Chain A
């Protein structure tokens, strides 16, 4: 593509964003906008899918049938949400299969949080409360992002996810009021998931490579640090209701700022986990690849059946 054409695309995008703030699939947009979108949506979709594993591992061991049903429905939602997001990337002409291949090859990322293990039942509660809580803070602004199919998928996802955080909070609330062992389990889970949840908002603004451009393009609406602060402000009072401690001695209300001050997030750890050196990176990816490979014969069978009986599938 010539430089002239590229700058014309950039002007067209500027015009669209200025006129109604929304871009739709067939609009003419710069390749860089498209690449940034695909990267962000794919990472988001992959996170939903890999995110099924840490909690999914507890479906078979949920301690009551009510909890088992809730968890099964929640992990199912994550599959659904991954699907909505892959469908949104398809509107940019990127096939799901292509994205899965990149995920499986380690060429595309998913959220670092899912590389931490779930060691006890209380972790299911901590994930719902903290991880889904952080995800919601990240996602709500995306309901107004500039790319129409992504924004619409996010509206649907946010609506469905409103129960995810509540069920996590409810698990921890019950444990915190349970036996001493249950209470200890809840505190331990919060201790382990608090800092990784803060890392979900990404590196500090000063080090965030794509932030400024993404903001201008309307595919990101608030900075990493703003969202992180919003999450902390929202979560501290909830921890008090739970009667659980957040593992940060520096956490205190700053009336001048109107926000909670907090201790430093270990971004070196975030970098390590993102680079593949987290506790469960290899395990998560291997699980996903194995499932995909072991399902190949099923997909091939369905394709062969359709080829033989017609794609209308009259059966």
Chain B
């Protein structure tokens, strides 16, 4: 028996129109057509979705945990980007 090495596909489901596709898990399949069908059977048995994406897991490029501070730290001290940073005088509405 030869080894079986179907590629891994990451699965994304749109729960309903108006929402984004969200990552739910993965399936193995030799090609995209079967991957999509497997994803349908495995992840939407309880009406969880109205649309599906399958993406080869190998196509995902991820940031590294050790880069976390360099990537995401610098945003921490720039709270002036948030509306709660500002004082609004009492009685002012629609601002």
A-to-B contact residues, CB < 8 Å: 24, 26-28, 73, 76-77, 80, 83-84, 87-88, 90, 95-97, 153, 156, 160, 293, 296, 299-300, 302-303, 305-306, 309-315
With contacts A26-B64, A160-B46, A311-B56 taken as known, whether A87 is within 8 angstroms of B31 at the C-beta atoms is: no
Residues in A whose Cβ lies below 8 Å from that of B25? 83-84, 87-88, 153, 156
Q: Which of B25, B27, B45, B66 has the most CB of A within 10 A?
A: B25
CB distance from B76 to the nearest CB of A (A): 15
**Interface flag for B84 (CB, 8 Å):** no
Distance between Cα atoms of A305 and B1 in the complex (Å): 17
With contacts A302-B34, A305-B31 taken as known, whether A311 is within 8 angstroms of B7 at the C-beta atoms is: yes
Q: B27, A83: Cβ atoms under 8 Å?
A: yes
Q: A313, B65: Cβ atoms under 8 Å?
A: no
Of all chain A residues, which has the CB nearest B6? A303
> Among the listed A26, A90, A296, which residue makes an inter-chain contact with B1, where contact means beta carbons less than 8 Å apart?
A296
Residues in B whose Cβ lies below 8 Å from that of A311? 7, 30-32, 56
Q: B1, A293: Cβ atoms under 8 Å?
A: yes
> Among the listed A24, A28, A315, which residue makes an inter-chain contact with B66, where contact means beta carbons less than 8 Å apart?
A28
B-to-A contact residues, CB < 8 Å: 1-8, 24-35, 42, 45-46, 56-57, 62, 64-66
Q: A83, B42: Cβ atoms under 8 Å?
A: yes
Of all chain B residues, which has the CB nearest A16? B65
Distance between Cα atoms of A80 and B11 in the complex (Å): 14
Chosen A-B contacts, 26 in total, with CB atoms closer than 8 Å, are A26-B64, A26-B65, A27-B65, A73-B45, A76-B45, A80-B45, A83-B42, A87-B25, A90-B8, A96-B28, A153-B25, A156-B24, A293-B1, A296-B1, A299-B4, A303-B4, A306-B31, A311-B7, A312-B33, A313-B30, A313-B31, A313-B33, A313-B34, A313-B35, A314-B32, A315-B33
With contacts A299-B4, A311-B56 taken as known, whether A306 is within 8 angstroms of B26 at the C-beta atoms is: no
Residues in A whose Cβ lies below 8 Å from that of B26? 87, 90
Distance between Cα atoms of A251 and B28 in the complex (Å): 47
Of all chain B residues, which has the CB nearest A297? B1
5 closest Cβ contacts across the A-B interface? A313-B31, A313-B33, A306-B30, A306-B31, A302-B30
> Among the listed B31, B57, B66, which residue makes an inter-chain contact with A312, where contact means beta carbons less than 8 Å apart?
B31
Of all chain B residues, which has the CB nearest A12? B65
Q: A26, B62: Cβ atoms under 8 Å?
A: yes
Distance between Cα atoms of A300 and B5 in the complex (Å): 10
